[in-house]
Every structure is written in C-alpha cells, then in structure tokens.
Amino acid sequence: MPSTTPTTGPTTPEHLAAGSPAWKAASHTKAHLGEGLRSAADLRDRYRVTTAGPALPDGSVQLPMNGAFNPGHEPTAPTPGSFALAPDVGGPLMFASPDTPGMPAPSTKTAWDFLPDDWSCEVLPASACTGATLRSWSPASGEAIFKDARGVIRRVTCPADFRPITQLESARLGIITPEMERVAQREPHLTSEQIRDEIAAGRMIIPANVHHLRHDLDPMCIGRASKTKVYANMGASPVSSSTDEEVEKLQWAEKWGGDTVMDLSTGGDLDACREAIIQNSTVPIGTVPIYSMIIGRRLEDLDRDIILHTVEHQARQGVDYMTIHAGVRPEHIPLVKQRLIGIVSRGGSLLAKWMLVHAKEGKPAENPMYDLWDDICRVLREHDVSFSIGDGLRPGGLADATDLAQLGELQTIGELTARAWRHGVQVMVEGPGHVPFDQIEFNAKLQRTLCHGAPFYVLGPLVTDVFPGYDHITSCIGATAIAYHGASMLCYVTPKEHLGLPKKGDVKEGCIAYKIAAHAADVALGIPGSRDWDDELTKARAALNWKKHFELAFDEDTARAYHDEDLDVDTDFCAMCGHDWCSVRISKEIQEFSSGKAEGFDRGKPVKSDALTDEQRAILEQRGYLKPEEIHKLAAKVKGKVEGTVDDEAGKAACHSDYVDADEAKQIQGEQLVQLNSLPAHGIASDDRVI
C-alpha cells in the first residue's frame, strides 16, 4: 500500500514560504473555498450555475450557457460566468469545453475496463446494498465493496494476499490513501473520494514514487478534474550547467509555480544531478531514461538489460514519472520522410535511428521500448512510478502538425495506456509541441478518445514558428487553448526554446507564462474558486489600494518596481493616466457605483511606501530606463524631490512623507507629468456634483 505520508505536506522550504508566488497560486483559491464547501450542493450555492439569459439589453441575443459553475463567488459580479460544459467529475468530461462540430466523442472506456486478468469488478444495484453490505478491502478476503462519490457501488475482487503498491491499485480497491487526502487539501473543489474515483478511472494520477515520499515530496495530482498544472524542465547539457546550478533552477521553478519538474540532463554526472534534484524537490520529478542509457556507449548497443537496469535504477532513486517513447513503431518511420523538420523529440529520434540500424530485410526493427513494455510496467509498478508516454513523433513545426506519423503514434499510445493500466501503473500522455491554433481542439479531443481519458500534458503548443526568443509567448497562447480543450498539464517553454539551455531568468519567465495559461484555462472551464483571486485583485485595483494590489499580484516585485519606476507615490492615480484622467478614480468617486468601495479594501490616506527590495532594484537595473542615481533614491529613499530639491526633515524624500494629502499628490504629479483637463473628454462638467 502507498506509504503513509502526512496529509499536511512537508515542512515548507524558504523559497515556498507565505507570500511567495507559488504560495499565492496555491492559497488564494483555497482561502475562499475553505473547508466544508466541496459537496455539489455547497459549491452550487457559493459558485452559482448561471442559466441562459439575454446577452444584450434588448434580449435579441442569448448567452451560450452550458451549466458550468461560475468560477468566482462574488455575489454582485455581473459576469455570466463560464461558457464551458456543466462539470462532470466522475464522468468522461470532468471540466470540459463545448465541442466544435466534428470533434471526436470521449471514449466510453476507462481504466476500469483494463483490469489485470485475475481481477474482476461488478457494479451492484443500489437496491441490493445496505450500509452493512459495504466492506473495506482486506488481503485475506481479496474483495472490497464500496460506494464511489456518485453513489455507484462496486464489488472488486483481486487475488488473495495481494498488496496494492500504486495509487491506481489502491483506488481500484476503494482505498483513500494519505496522498489522496493531501491532494484533496490542495484541490479544495474536490473531495478525497472524487480524487480516488478519478484515479481509479485512469483520468487522474498522483505521481509519487514510494522512495521520493521519504524525502520532501508534497503529493499533487494531474487530471482534468483538477486545476491545470505546469511542468518545468531543466538539466545539464554536455556544454552547459552543473548539478548545483540545476538544483538552484529546481528551487527557482518551484518558487515560480512549477508543479512538477523534469530532469532532462544529457551531460555531466547524470546520476548525481538526478539524486540531488530528487532529494531537494517538493514536487514530482520526471526523467527520460534513454538519455542515461546511451551515455558512454553506442546507441546501437542498447539492449534489454541496459533498458531495464536503467529504468530500475532511476525508479529506486525516487523518480516519480518516466517518459518512455514506446509509441514509435516501424510503420511510422516512412511517414516522417516528407516532414520539413523530421523527428524533433530526442527520445523519438534516438529510437528511430536504433530501429533503422537494426533493420532486417530492409524493414526497421521493432522499437525495443515497445517490445519491453510489459517488463517496464512491472518495474514501474514496484515503485509506483507513473508513465509519461512520450510522443516521439510530435511535430516540430506547423507544417508537420496533425500528420499521419503523429496521429499514428497516438493510436499506439492508446494501446500502451491500456496495457499499463492492466499492470496497475498510472499513466499520462505527452502531446505535440507545434500546432496551428485551429487544430488544437482536435488534437486534445482525439487524445481523450484514443487514450480513454488518461491525463494529457502538452509542450506548448507553439502556434507560430517565427518568433524565436519569444516562444514562451507563442506557446502559452496555444497552451491556454489546449488546457481549455482538455490538457491537464502544460510543459513550459522558455525564451531560450530552440536556442539554448534555459538559465535561471528564463525558467522564471517560462513558469510565469505558463501559470498565466493554466490559470486562464481554469477560469474559462468554471473550476470553482479559480476566479476568486482575480476578483480580489480587481477590488484592490478599483480602490486604488496599491499595497493590496501588489500583495495579491503573482509577481509582487515586478509589479511594484514597474509602478515605482514612473511614480513612486501610492496615491489615487498612477503614471499611466495621471490624476485628472484616471478612470478608476472617477468611477470610485461616483457615489452610485460600487467600484472601489469593497469592504476591507479602502486605501485610506496615502502612506510612505517601502524602499525597493534587492529584487525590485535588480529589475529596474536590468530594464535600464532609470539612471543609477534614480534607482538608488528609490532603493534608499534618500531625501530630495524629483528635481533633486532637499527636504531636511528626517532626511525623507518629499514625495515619500509618511502622509501625503491629495493636494500634495497632485502637486507631485504636476511636477512630473503633463497636465490635461480630462473632464470635457468624459462629458463631465468641472463642478459635476455626482462626483
């Protein structure tokens, strides 16, 4: 049975402490949902389901409502909420977008249809069962009768003296593991029973190697019933980085919201690097074992013993999920010949070359990973390592997307998914990296069909190929769309994609771009509580409460530094519009509007802001728009007005006194910004009494 990890999670490292970006992303939704709000009735009461209504005041157009939850609970918010489908947790749709015509329907099968040969499952009629009939699994009886979160009663039998190791095996026996309980704490819209049921159906995984649980791993889940996850990859290459640098990047990725990390090292001491990453990580760690298999030997020498030994060794180290490119088959290789950029997956290209080197009678040999699939399954089960079935034939450019090679491999991956489930191994499926925007929904929903709802995680996808250096942007556009259409986890892309190994700053930019994509998709899908954080920040923004505004921002340092770069006074305007043109201030001052008047968000009197932190100072120095002496003033709060005049009292800058009244704030603005009378532009007389 999975190890008894504490349900409160590990001791919080400093880089994940309260106030960190990762803490904000995890805590704000949970704070609003709270305990006791996970039942369907409670959620519907707080996160109301909006029915169809008029989209225009004259009623000529109706809103396209489909029964989704409103992702925010603000009772007076006028937005209709989500246009997604009604939640189907426990069913094949989970949280899902409406289908565009022509999309493949969800599979009618789940992991329940792919039990081991010596297992059985019978659905019992509710009328035939009483509370006394239900019984927990025990090794002696080899039987469990339990009711799932939807009221379905199952009798599951397995061989006597069987011991569940994986989360999937426990879920099939009705067991709620400590890891499932911890995940329920981290996914406050789901109960531990729902999490168990999603895992049993194969639609969710908890990647938690039994050995990693002995370190600092904090169990999390991946599945479309849960919030969208972000995965960061890193690793030393033969020409760049080191173990210490990779551990630093790991903690940096954790700080900026990476939910899992994959070690893609291809150089240096791979074993030591992997060991250090696992021992220092609170998030699940993945690897691509073939990289280690070929270090120090010729590719063509790869054989059964090397493959299984490497997989076993990494499983014992504590790797939580492994990418195995077993879907590349001999019949797929000819389909790649006309591609503009061939095979861009390292694992896929290595295995394709191995197959061609070992060709017989002019035909490529079978993929050794495919041949050894059942053996690999048995190794992974012993340590509860999840499969990340790699897409070795994913497209590397728009012109190669959704071709026969890619989709043929996906069909094989569906077969491999079912075979892994028969061994009790958890599975998620890797998806394509370059896809035109119009093809994204089809790619997501075809995977849902062929792989029977197994969690889908995707590299991007990039929606255009001509912006190297900005591919964290080109890809997070596609990532938002594919998460809305069914992907459970998004593999981040950094600005260094296609150009080199990402550095620490690139990791931050990639993580933030993908937290944006993941969060936007969760709001669009109507996951309860996902918009509450946004609503809180909107209230702070409407109240011109800058302190609260920055505290709620995912990246507080950047937001504060950018603000102070132009006008370092926390008052009722910013440098974008100035005082007279500030529409937010005008809306706040209109008595009939609720804007800016939310309880607990009143800004009060302008107060002195803190000096720049080291992080904020570094941000402004890197931007290069301010002179060093100007940044020094912001960091040290030395005395002197903007022009350099001195206020002798207490050595304070005149624009940062402990109290700045409205007239003084306007005066400061007048010294720095061009003044315009905006009232006529708003159609408001200067003495309008509504304001």
Q: Which long-range contacts (CB under 8 A, 24 or more apart) does 353-360 make?
A: 353/299, 354/299, 354/300, 354/302, 355/328, 355/330, 357/299, 357/300, 358/300
- Cα separation, 128 vs 180, whole angstroms: 29
Per-residue CA distances from 203 to 195, 220, 367 (Å): 10, 14, 27
Dihedral Cα 470, 472, 475, 481, nearest 10 deg: -130
- Look at residue 645 in the predicted model and tell me its pLDDT: 36
Q: Dihedral sign, CA of 604, 605, 606, 608?
A: negative
Question: Tell me, which fold does domain 1-119+158-528 have in CATH?
Answer: TIM Barrel (3.20.20)
Tokens representing 100 are: 């565009």
- Look at residue 131 in the predicted model and tell me its pLDDT: 65
- Look at residue 646 in the predicted model and tell me its pLDDT: 38
Tokens representing 592 are: 């009939």
- Look at residue 485 in the predicted model and tell me its pLDDT: 98
Instruction: Kindly list the domain boundaries of the chain, sorted by start residue.
Output: 1-119+158-528, 532-682
Q: How many C-beta atoms surround the C-beta of residue 521 within 10 A?
A: 26
- Look at residue 658 in the predicted model and tell me its pLDDT: 38
Q: How many C-beta atoms surround the C-beta of residue 523 within 10 A?
A: 20
- For the chain, 691 residues long, the average pLDDT of each consecutive 10-residue run is 48 78 78 58 71 85 91 86 93 96 97 97 84 81 93 94 96 97 94 97 98 95 98 77 83 93 85 91 96 92 97 97 98 96 96 96 95 98 98 97 98 98 98 97 98 97 97 97 98 93 90 97 95 94 92 94 86 82 89 89 79 91 90 72 39 38 57 50 51 46
Length of the chain: 691
- Look at residue 19 in the predicted model and tell me its pLDDT: 82
CA angle centred on 124, ends 123 and 129, rounded to 5°: 150
- Look at residue 427 in the predicted model and tell me its pLDDT: 98
- Cα separation, 530 vs 484, whole angstroms: 13
- Look at residue 639 in the predicted model and tell me its pLDDT: 40
DSSP letters for 363-422: BPPPPHHHHTHHHHHHHHHHHTPEEEE--TT--SSGGGTT-HHHHHHHHHHHHHHHHHHH
**At a CB cut-off of 8 Å and minimum separation 6, what does 599 contact?**
none
Q: Which residues pair with 262 in a beta bridge?
A: 233, 286
- Look at residue 167 in the predicted model and tell me its pLDDT: 98
- Look at residue 642 in the predicted model and tell me its pLDDT: 38
User: In 275-329, where do the E strands start and end?
Assistant: 285-287, 321-324
SS3 276: helix
